[in-house]
Amino acid sequence: MARVFRRERIEVKTLDEVRAMRVAGIVVAECLAMLEQAAVPGRTTLDLDALAETFIRDHGGRPSFVEVPGYRHTLCTSVNDEIVHGIPGKRVLHSGDVVSIDCGAIVEGWHGDAAISVIVGGHEAGRPEDVALVEATEESLWAGIAALTVGRGLYAVGAAVEDSITKARAKDGYKYGIVEDYVGHGIGREMHMEPNVPNYRVRGKGPIVRNASTVAIEPMVTLGDQANRVLDDEWTVVTLDGSRAAHWEHTVAAHAGGLWVLTALDGGVGRLGARISPL
Ligand code: MG
Ligand code: MG
């Protein structure tokens, strides 16, 4: 279902503001790198949440999700058929689980927002279809990031994500649904800002990407259908068909000289090479 958004604009930042966002992005990146190692069998999702809160505070930041009305945790932890917005709790992680960890931090008033999907126990512990799902979703994120270009319409991002997943369906032989009910967003002094960033092809070009603008791109992909519902906890989004899901996200700056993936430890150079130009 293509969805038409009202006319939106992308906020322009100064280069110094983008550099300030990189500081928040690094805290999020390092926190997620720590959590990737910590997501081992026997840990609970609440354990991960506590580790993340301590890490962010120890690094001069504060968790941003707690500032979302009604939400009390540092992370969202979404396991297996949970797509996004899973609440950390007593759930024990088991070998082979797919856990998507979404993390946001504020440093000096600026936000970083990123997510990874991890197979508990490592890829060798995962079902082949889950390993493929996690890799295809991450690949689609990077395809979306690569399509972000100053002067070009923002909706090129979602088209690139969708094309990447279409290719992955043919290569891997899995159905792969792209979730359309949740989208990426502008980011800066607030975590969720205009414009919406669809992770799938929509009609039109979308708002024109402006020099020194920042967005969070965050494809969510399932092994089955993309249809979903929210659990009675009013947060956790699960697939209707019970298929597993993955979620990857980066906060990205676009500027005249290229891209800077603010929540990637290497700024994105490892994946996008010459497209990356740190400020
Ligand atoms: Mg996020
Ligand atoms: Mg986000």
Locate 114 and state its tokens: 């990123």
Residue environment code for 79-101, b if the CB has 16+ CB neighbours within 10 A, otherwise e: bbbbbbbbbbeebebeebbbbbb
Cα-to-centroid distance, 126 and ligand 2 (Å): 26
Cα-to-centroid distance, 270 and ligand 2 (Å): 22
**pLDDT for 6:** 61
Q: How far apart, in whole angstroms, are the C-alpha atoms of residue 216 and residue 262?
A: 10
Cα-to-centroid distance, 211 and ligand 1 (Å): 23
Answer yes or no: is pLDDT of 8 > 50: yes
Instruction: Return the ligand number nearest the Cα of 100.
Output: 1
Answer yes or no: is pLDDT of 227 > 60: yes
pLDDT, tens digit (0-9, with 9 covering 90-100), for 55-101: 999 999 999 999 999 999 999 999 999 999 999 999 999 999 999 99
CB 119 within 8 A of CB 270: no
Cα-to-centroid distance, 115 and ligand 1 (Å): 6
Cα-to-centroid distance, 102 and ligand 1 (Å): 5
Domains of the chain: 15-275 (3.90.230.10)
Q: How far apart, in whole angstroms, are the C-alpha atoms of residue 120 and residue 162?
A: 27
Cα-to-centroid distance, 249 and ligand 2 (Å): 7
pLDDT, tens digit (0-9, with 9 covering 90-100), for 105-117: 999 999 999 999 9
Q: DSSP for 113-165, please give it.
A: EEEEEEETT-GGGS-HHHHHHHHHHHHHHHHHHHT--TTSBTTHHHHHHHHHH
Answer yes or no: is pLDDT of 211 > 50: yes
pLDDT, tens digit (0-9, with 9 covering 90-100), for 158-185: 999 999 999 999 999 999 999 999 999 9
The residues whose Cβ lies within 5 A of ligand 1, an ion, are 102, 113, 115, 249
CB 255 within 8 A of CB 16: no
Answer yes or no: is pLDDT of 4 > 90: no
- Comparing 8 with 198, the larger pLDDT belongs to 198
Instruction: Return the ligand number nearest the Cα of 76.
Output: 1
For every residue of 52-73, which 3-state class applies, written as one string? HHHHHHHCCCEECHHHCCCCCC
Instruction: Return the ligand number nearest the Cα of 103.
Output: 1
**pLDDT for 2:** 43
Cα-to-centroid distance, 116 and ligand 1 (Å): 9
Q: How far apart, in whole angstroms, are the C-alpha atoms of residue 230 and residue 234?
A: 6
Cα-to-centroid distance, 218 and ligand 2 (Å): 6
Q: How far apart, in whole angstroms, are the C-alpha atoms of residue 214 and residue 27?
A: 17
Whole-number mean pLDDT of the chain? 96
Locate 143 and state its tokens: 């395809």
Cα-to-centroid distance, 55 and ligand 1 (Å): 17
Q: How far apart, in whole angstroms, are the C-alpha atoms of residue 190 and residue 173?
A: 39
**pLDDT for 134:** 98
The end-to-end CA distance of the chain, in Å, is 38
Instruction: Return the ligand number nearest the Cα of 78.
Output: 1
- CB neighbour list of residue 40: distance below 8 Å, 6 or more residues apart: 93, 120, 121
Cα-to-centroid distance, 180 and ligand 2 (Å): 14
pLDDT band at 1 (very low <50, low <70, confident <90, very high): very low
